[in-house]
Amino acid sequence: MNGRIKMLLGSAAIASALTLSACGSDSAGAGKEKLVISTWGFSEDFFNEDVYAPFEEEHNVDIVVETGNNAERLNKIRQGNSDVDLVYLSDYYAQQGVDDGLFEELDSSKLTNLDKIYETAKSPNGEGYGPAYTIGQFGIAYNPEMVKETVSSWKDLWNAEWESNVAIPGITTTTGPMFLDAASKVSGNDSFNEDAAFKQLDALKPNIVNEYNQTSEFINMFGQGEIAGGPIMEMYFSSLKEAVPEAEFVTPEEGGYAVMNTVNVVKDSDQKELAEEFINYQLSTEVQEKTAKAKVDSPVNTEVVLSDEEQEGITYGEDVIEKLNVLPADFLVENSKQWIDRWNKEVTK
């Protein structure tokens, strides 16, 4: 057999193998439905292995994940440039989606695990819309080596020993409006007073080193000793402890704030029933316990039991959740533009 014939036969064999391989790939996915999930993209390995894979196997489905921040993912759905079935958003952005008619109302009879979660988490954006699958706490973290006085209140951040030592969240972040509300409380108002809040923030300026828009900025400044601390979400406390082992997290006596992340079914999804099954699965004791022990999300399922060690950095327990301040998402949406404009003129200037 000459070389040219050998070459032709070899090419044919390779082509045949590739064809069989392609057919095998098609048959492996044959009969499988697809569920497209839009989320932030953190802890991807954990979610792929411990959350998505078991659901895929049980329901014979392929989960496809799209990632990005709240705003860009919501805008993609608004513009109709997405085939997303299920979307994870903070309650503030979820409220915008509800107001714009972007989400399906849920069949509560399919969500049997709703009865196991905190009342606060059941419908943060109104009856019939997605539950909060996790509730985090916004409080104060600080380095006791840099601040000698015990921290117990939001008003402590205004003390003279915090001069040039505080980082605060920007107004366009999830927690920015919460800190604005905290400033209103420090001013002596039980209900939100916008003028008093901005006046109180003006008084804080000598203590402010920086505004952070990404939590990584706060963690870096804290670890390098550029700040003594400031307002931050509890879920990031483990990272602060790695940088500064003596770090402390405090729930202020006026109350921390509930940070709720929700999950909703996108309007006109052709996988509504499957998406509702996934939401119910996300709220199950098994999944909630996994994510809590991995320190990925704080649980809303009241059946989850955690040891003292497992609770560190996690917002856990009904006694903690019930004491958190909750800012209604529709109130935030209604006022956010004027707060941003005023913040840029009076705080960031």
- Retrieve residue 1's tokens: 């057999």
Is the pLDDT score of 206 beyond 60? yes
* List of residues 6+ apart from 44 with CB closer than 8 A: 65, 67
Domain hosting 109: range is 29-134+261-312
- Using H for helix, E for strand and C for coil, what is the string for 209-251? EEEECCHHHHHHHHHCCCCCEEEEEHHHHHHHHHHCCCCEEEC
Same domain, 210 and 242: yes
Same domain, 121 and 265: yes
- Using H for helix, E for strand and C for coil, what is the string for 18-61? HHHHHHHHHHHHCCCEEEEEEECCCCHHHHHHHHHHHHHHHHCE
- Retrieve residue 316's tokens: 């856990």
Q: Is residue 237 part of a domain?
A: yes
Same domain, 191 and 203: yes
| Residue that has been written with the tokens 């000698």 in this structure | 148
Q: Is residue 319 part of a domain?
A: no
Average pLDDT over residues 247-266: 96
The span from the CA of 193 to the CA of 212, in Å, is 24
pLDDT grade, residue 303 (50/70/90)?
A: very high
Average pLDDT over residues 18-26: 37
Give the global pTM.
0.85
The total of structural domains in the chain comes to 2
Same domain, 158 and 191: yes
Residue 168 and residue 346 in contact, taking contact as beta carbons nearer than 8 Å = no
Average pLDDT over residues 126-135: 97
Q: Is residue 318 part of a domain?
A: no
Q: Is residue 18 part of a domain?
A: no
- Residue 306's pLDDT is what? 97
Query: Which ranges of 39-129 does DSSP label H, i.e. alpha helix?
Result: 44-46, 53-59, 70-78, 91-99, 119-122
- Residue 12's pLDDT is what? 40
Same domain, 271 and 129: yes
- Collapse the DSSP code of 188 into the 3-class scheme (helix H, G, I; strand E, B; otherwise coil) and give the result: coil
Same domain, 307 and 191: no
Residues 191-207 as b or e (16 or more Cβ within 10 Å = b): ebbbebbbebbeebeeb
For 16-20, 31-35, 237-241, which range has the lowest pLDDT when averaged over its residues?
16-20
Average pLDDT over residues 140-162: 96
Q: Is residue 52 part of a domain?
A: yes
Q: Is residue 21 part of a domain?
A: no
Same domain, 88 and 99: yes
CB count within 10 Å of CB 182 equals: 29
- Residue 29's pLDDT is what? 52
- Residue 16's pLDDT is what? 40
Is the pLDDT score of 97 beyond 80? yes
Q: Is residue 178 part of a domain?
A: yes
Same domain, 269 and 338: no
Same domain, 204 and 334: yes
Average pLDDT over residues 312-320: 92
Q: Is residue 320 part of a domain?
A: no
Q: What share of the chain is helix, strand, coil (3-state, %, to 5)?
A: 50, 15, 35
Same domain, 33 and 102: yes
pLDDT grade, residue 209 (50/70/90)?
A: very high
pLDDT grade, residue 32 (50/70/90)?
A: confident
pLDDT grade, residue 30 (50/70/90)?
A: low
- Residue 6's pLDDT is what? 39
Phi, psi of 87 (to 5 degrees): -130, 135
Q: Half-sphere exposure (CA, 13 Å, Cβ side) for 218?
A: 28
Percent of the chain with pLDDT over 90: 87
Same domain, 275 and 168: no
CATH of residue 42's domain is: 3.40.190.10
* List of residues 6+ apart from 212 with CB closer than 8 A: 167, 168, 169, 170, 173, 218, 221
Same domain, 287 and 216: no
